[in-house]
Amino acid sequence: MTQNNEEHTTTPAGEKIIATVKFRSAGKQYDFDTNGLELNQGDSVVVETNRGRALGTVARPPRNVAKQDLPQDLKKVLRLATEADHNMARISSSKEKEAFDHCMERIRQRNMPMKLVKAEYLFDGSKIIFYFTADGRVDFRELVKDLAHHFHTRIEMRQIGVRDEAKLIGGIGICGRELCCGTFLTDFHPVSVRMAKQQGLALNPTKISGQCGRLLCCLGYEYDTYCKMAKQLPKPGSKASLDGQPVEVVCGQTLSQTVTVRCSGKTISNIPVASLSTNKTGAKEEPKKSGGSSPAPEKRQAKEGERKTGNKGKGGKPASRDGKPQRPARGKSAEGRPSKNKRGGKPGQEKQNRPKKTSGPQEQQGQENSQRPNRKPRPDKGPAKDKSQATPATGENNDKNQEKNPQDKKPNKRRSRNRRRPPRKP
């Protein structure tokens, strides 16, 4: 026997033989080192775990695994389970009902906000694990002291979710079969309402929820298949043609790969997708423009240049090749006349040609009062002196006088507004 074991355990350098073990019918599966034992699928073994020794079943036959692919904290299989181990496990499981009832009584006495789900003994009776559910954190230190004093063994309190609760208890689903989580599901995957919408199910919480109150796990079984088949159907509202006639797609059936269309006011259903010729873009094809209908490129550029420069006739401003108007020379306008800019023309030339504006003192006061309605009129101190009479009548002095004349200046509205504003608060 030893020779056969030695021949079986010979492995290449850097590899180990591991086996997959499970502790419940639908529980999680863990990898263990075979420790040189010859194991087969379905054998009962005693293994060493983080919470102590446990009795499990080999779910997958042994296999060689490279050293870099080995899981962390790999435990070993201690031995094959004997008849004494099975008897000890049966005796411990018979005590679980008593432990559950005693713990429930203690919880009621202390009015603790928790729901006890199950009490589990290890096969050798060295530890009791109590599973419970609660909305938040629960202080169960005093409860653990009472249980340890009564059972004289180690006590562990483990809080679980509602899905794990349904897995431990088991039951019958709305389909009439045992719960998936209690028979073959080892891990829980996220489920969303989008999966129910994609499969065309009624969004009724009582119909798409399981025993745990969450969405059914079976909603995710066919979700990927529905998504792939839905991509092959045309979208509702798209245009297509059936036997040369234009039709509009109303809806589609994913599994049967058929659609319902509307043609000349009539609705036709159960039409295979292969018999339709649809436009991939879903939009109407624009008619192709022929070469004769499009304007010549030279005329098109000329029109664009007229839009940018604003030229509408032959007498418009000259435009450059890019369509932008040419800038006139400095000091002259486009028509050749001297511009109003002081750099291009003579200084004071425009100001001499302007007519002088003179007004009496009363008119000046009336205009000042009209410009500043919020201020009180100043008292009349007599006619204002005309400084233009004392100075020689030259172009430069007249320009200065016109600049000083308050009638020619426009009121600074921005300054008046700033003065009226209240001060800003710090």
Share of the chain above pLDDT 90, in %: 29
Residue 134 has pLDDT above 70, yes or no: yes
Closest C-alpha among 89, 86, 62 to residue 76: 62
Residue 369 contacts residue 377 (beta carbons within 8 Å): yes
Q: Containing H/E element for 108?
A: helix 96-110
Distance in angstroms (rounded) separating the CA atoms of residues 103 and 130? 9
DSSP result, 302-322: HHHHHHHH---STTS--B-TT
Average pLDDT on 309-325 reads 49
Residue 298 has pLDDT above 80, yes or no: no
Distance in angstroms (rounded) separating the CA atoms of residues 207 and 195? 14
Q: Which of 26-30, 107-111, 233-237, 367-371 has the lowest mean pLDDT?
A: 367-371
Distance in angstroms (rounded) separating the CA atoms of residues 32 and 74? 6
Residue 220 contacts residue 191 (beta carbons within 8 Å): yes
Confidence category of residue 112, pLDDT binned at 50, 70, 90: very high
DSSP result, 348-377: THHHHHSPP----HHHHHHHHHHH-TTSPP
pLDDT score for 111: 92
Residue 285 has pLDDT above 80, yes or no: no
Average pLDDT on 285-305 reads 51
pLDDT tens-digit series, residues 340-376: 544 544 444 444 455 555 444 444 444 444 455 555 5
pLDDT tens-digit series, residues 375-399: 555 555 555 554 444 444 444 444 4
Distance in angstroms (rounded) separating the CA atoms of residues 240 and 418? 67
Residue 143 has pLDDT above 60, yes or no: yes
Q: Who wins on pLDDT, 50 or 315?
A: 50
Q: For residue 386, what are its two tokens?
A: 């005309």
Q: Which residue has the tokens 């230190």?
A: 141
Question: How many other C-beta atoms can be found within 10 angstroms of the C-beta atom of residue 425?
Answer: 4
What's the angle, vertex CA 419, arms to CA 418 and CA 421, rounded to 5? Answer: 65
Q: Provide CB contacts within 8 A for 102, sequence distance 6+.
A: 147, 150
Question: Domains in the chain, start-ordered, CATH in brackets?
Answer: 2-81 (no CATH), 91-160 (3.30.300.20), 168-228 (no CATH), 232-278 (2.30.30)
pLDDT score for 114: 93
pLDDT tens-digit series, residues 5-50: 434 444 566 678 899 999 888 888 889 988 888 888 889 999 988 8
Residue 2 has pLDDT above 50, yes or no: no
Question: How many other C-beta atoms can be found within 10 angstroms of the C-beta atom of residue 418?
Answer: 9
Q: Provide CB contacts within 8 A for 40, sequence distance 6+.
A: 58, 61
Q: Provide CB contacts within 8 A for 99, sequence distance 6+.
A: 119, 121, 128, 130, 151
Q: Provide CB contacts within 8 A for 320, sequence distance 6+.
A: 326
Q: Which of 28-42, 136-150, 267-281, 288-302 has the lowest mean pLDDT?
A: 288-302
Average pLDDT on 303-331 reads 52
pLDDT score for 218: 93
Distance in angstroms (rounded) separating the CA atoms of residues 103 and 158? 13
Q: Which of 25-34, 104-113, 397-406 has the lowest mean pLDDT?
A: 397-406
Q: In what order do the strands lie in the sheet with 154-159?
A: 115-121, 127-133, 154-159
Q: For residue 188, what are its two tokens?
A: 């829980």
Distance in angstroms (rounded) separating the CA atoms of residues 299 and 302? 5
